[in-house]
Amino acid sequence: MEKVVKKFFIQTSADKEEKWLNDMARKGYLLKSATLGKYTFVQTDKKYKIRLAYLPKDKKDFIHFIEEGDVQYIAEVGNWGYFIKEVNSFDDNFEIYSDIDSKIEQKNRVLKFLGIMFLCMLPLFFATASPIILNDTISDTLKIVIFIIYAILILLYVFMILKLFNQIKKLKQERDIQE
């Protein structure tokens, strides 16, 4: 029996998404497919762990390398790869990024992507917002709505970038403590 769940996670919430997917696995639901905001599960008696990995440029090589460890690639959503591995117990360890430096490197790749997207969005904002605001044929209400939408998008990007900076900072502090 399939179960479809619609749920949305932002780019910087991979840890929360991964925890939720593993909670679903504990309840007997195996991730079958994932798209943006839509997850399809099948019921199973087997135990699985699910990991997300921000895919590097050489996706095929990376996926092949991960699959060599009895790991199954499920899907890619927004450059995030979804991987599952059958385990004997839900307490079994299955990590794709097992050391702090690789976790930092992954978060830096996400940060770079978001930074580029943010920098690309700003000129579009000014290029489209300026003519709209200066246009006398568009109602003031519509101008305000468009401005609010752009402001929310900009604030969302700023929030995600700051959140990533904070996550990277905590990982670096953890690494310093371990050394």
Dump pLDDT digits (tens) for 125-143.
Answer: 777 777 766 667 777 787 7
Tell me: do 33 and 58 sit in the same domain. Answer: yes
- 72-123 confidence digits (pLDDT tens): 999 999 889 999 999 888 777 788 877 888 889 888 988 998 888 888 888 8
Q: For the chain, what percentages of helix, strand and coil (3-state, to nearest 5) are there?
A: 55, 20, 25
Q: Which domain holds residue 110?
A: 100-178
Domains of the chain: total? 2
pLDDT in tens, 47-66: 999 999 999 888 999 999 99
Extract long-range pairs of 141-150: CB within 8 Å, 24+ residues apart: 150/125
51 and 109 part of one domain: no
Q: How far apart are CA 98 and CA 118, in angstroms?
A: 30
Label residue 34 by pLDDT band (50, 70, 90).
Answer: very high
Residues present in the chain in total: 179
Output the CA–CA distances (angstroms, integers) from residue 45 to 5, 30, 95, 102, in the order listed.
19, 9, 22, 33
Q: Is residue 139 part of a domain?
A: yes
pLDDT band for 71, please (50, 70, 90 cuts). very high
Structure-token pair, residue 160: 């995600």
Q: How many CB atoms lie within 10 A of CB 61?
A: 10
The verdict on 57 and 18 lying in the same domain is yes
The answer to whether residue 58 is domain-embedded is yes
User: Is residue 92, in this structure, part of any structural domain at all?
Assistant: no
pLDDT at 32 over 70: yes
Tell me the three state secondary structure of residue 148. helix
Task: Give the C-alpha separation, 153 to 130, whole Å.
Answer: 16
